[in-house]
Structure 1
Amino acid sequence: MEISYSELEGLSINLTVKNNSGILARATILFPLVAEFECISMNFYELHHGVLKIDLTENASAVDSHFYRNIDPHSYRKKLATYDPHARFGLAEYFIPGNDSYLRVIGSKYQITETA
């Protein structure tokens, strides 16, 4: 996981991922508007075991992308009140786990691109 941030371009996260064909590829997640991000040097799944629920039941054939959006804005409402008190930016909390660390982002809509 490689991270770069600029006030002009936002947060860019470069990852090595398996594409739908099972082939390793490079992908970039771009958050043009970011209120907060942090890298936590602990295993995401161990730290959040029993606390966060990953629900893939909507689509039985879904593949776990390891890119999660927190669907409970109540859990980070204080952050939203600070960064977006008028709810103009559409901020949400996202988690991107690595091997033994993870990234937590409070940002707006994002774009994902895959490169060769």
Structure 2
Amino acid sequence: MEMPAVILPNPHLLQSDHLFKYILETSVHPREPQVLKELRDTTDATDTGRSSIALDPHSGQFVGMLLKMLNPKRTLEIGVYTGYSLLTTALSTPPDAKASQL
């Protein structure tokens, strides 16, 4: 019996890489705060092969939207790579909120 070919999952919800790139260029990247863009660029420039563990800008905007809806006063970040997600959290929570990291 012949084994079926292994199909690797698409890393994006969308099935088209061209559509995903278009959405990033026209919607996600223009809305990314400058400080997060600079951090992302620095992370990409100094990549040691671990940038895949960093939060993506599109995921960061989703997390930011959820945080704004929940309006938490305290957050806890467990595990930090370059701080993109922690900075996203800080920018998305009220000024009196406290963010901690482990």
Fold match (TM-score > 0.5): no
Q: Relative to total residues, which structure has the larger helix share, 1 or 2?
A: 2
What TM-score, normalized to structure 1? 0.27
Q: Relative to total residues, which structure has the larger strand share, 1 or 2?
A: 1
> Bigger radius of gyration, 1 or 2?
2
Higher relative contact order (Cα pairs below 8 Å, separated by 6+ residues): 1
What TM-score, normalized to structure 2? 0.29
